[in-house]
Amino acid sequence: MLLSKVGNTLADFFLPRLCLCCNSKLHSSQRVICDSCFSQIEITSDERIKYEFDRKFSEEKIIDGFVSPFVFEEDGNLQVLLHELKYKKRFRVGNILGVFLGELNADKIESWNIDYIIPIPLHKLKKADRGYNQSDHIGKSLARYLDKACLTKSVKRKKFTQSQTKLNIQERKTNIEGAFKIKRTKNIRGKNILILDDVITTGATVTELGKVLKENGANKVYACSVALAG
């Protein structure tokens, strides 16, 4: 551990790492974002999680529980980090966001006794255009933190959907309906699955995937995201 800290200090001396939000120099113990910028990201309260679960998921009774450690703010520091991961191939950001998710929600997730983590898949055309699925990087990092398996090939996104960003709740549900197909049902039957998305807004996407998972024999389906919006 001491040698690792010394190595990080030396590396930062010769090749300083900079905060992705304010461009200030990071200390050896800081990860992609400085403490000052991180402190400006709102942590989701237990009351907010309960309120949003009731609002987004309770009526359809598909998602059995969910967690989201941060509140998404337009043009905020968390949006900067997600943008760097999603569009600039800053895969280290995905690794760190997965760790943050685990650090802030490990007790809750462990109480669910999940078997697998499944990141929301991208359609093959969108993945080919971008080159990767940002949620895979977050999911694999969270899986390592929790010592669980992350399945990135068990679910296929068979329907190319338009961006959900400017759609209302009903439009989002219609847009995402029928989008997912299970490729490997043996990984699903009787299992407790944790769906992972980068940001949950209306919950339409994770609910649609949750529905397909339960139709294919999943026992319980939970959801998590780095951020909560809406």
Domain identity same for 32 and 82: no
Q: Where is average pLDDT lowest: 38-52, 76-90, 119-133, 163-177?
A: 163-177
Domain identity same for 19 and 49: no
Q: What are phi and psi of 150, to 5 degrees?
A: -110, 120
Q: Give 13's pLDDT tier (boundaries 50, 70, 90).
A: very low
The residue-averaged pLDDT of 124-137 equals 92
Domain identity same for 6 and 68: no
Of 175, 174, 163, the closest CA to residue 199 belongs to: 163
Q: What is the pLDDT of residue 102?
A: 96
The per-type count for the chain, helices as H runs and strands as E runs, is 9, 8
Domain identity same for 33 and 55: no
CA 223 to CA 163: how far, in whole Å? 20
Q: What is the pLDDT of residue 33?
A: 96
Number of Cβ within 10 Å of residue 148's Cβ equals 18
228 DSSP β-pair partners: 71, 200
Domain identity same for 4 and 108: no
CATH code for position 68: 3.40.50.2020
Q: What is the pLDDT of residue 167?
A: 73
Domain identity same for 137 and 185: yes
Domain identity same for 59 and 163: yes
The boundaries of the domain holding residue 7 are 1-40
Domain identity same for 110 and 195: yes
The residue-averaged pLDDT of 88-111 equals 95
Domain identity same for 61 and 161: yes
Q: Where are the alpha helices (DSSP H) in 15-61?
A: 35-38, 46-56
- 61 sits in the region (left: phi over 0; alpha: psi -120 to 50; else beta) called left
pTM score, whole prediction: 0.90
Domain identity same for 33 and 48: no
Per-residue pLDDT reduced to its tens digit, 26-71: 998 898 999 999 999 999 999 999 999 999 999 999 999 999 999 9
Q: What is the pLDDT of residue 15?
A: 60
Q: What is the mean pLDDT of the chain?
A: 90
Domain identity same for 66 and 95: yes
Domain identity same for 146 and 203: yes
The total domain count for the chain is 2
Of 25, 148, 32, the closest CA to residue 96 belongs to: 32
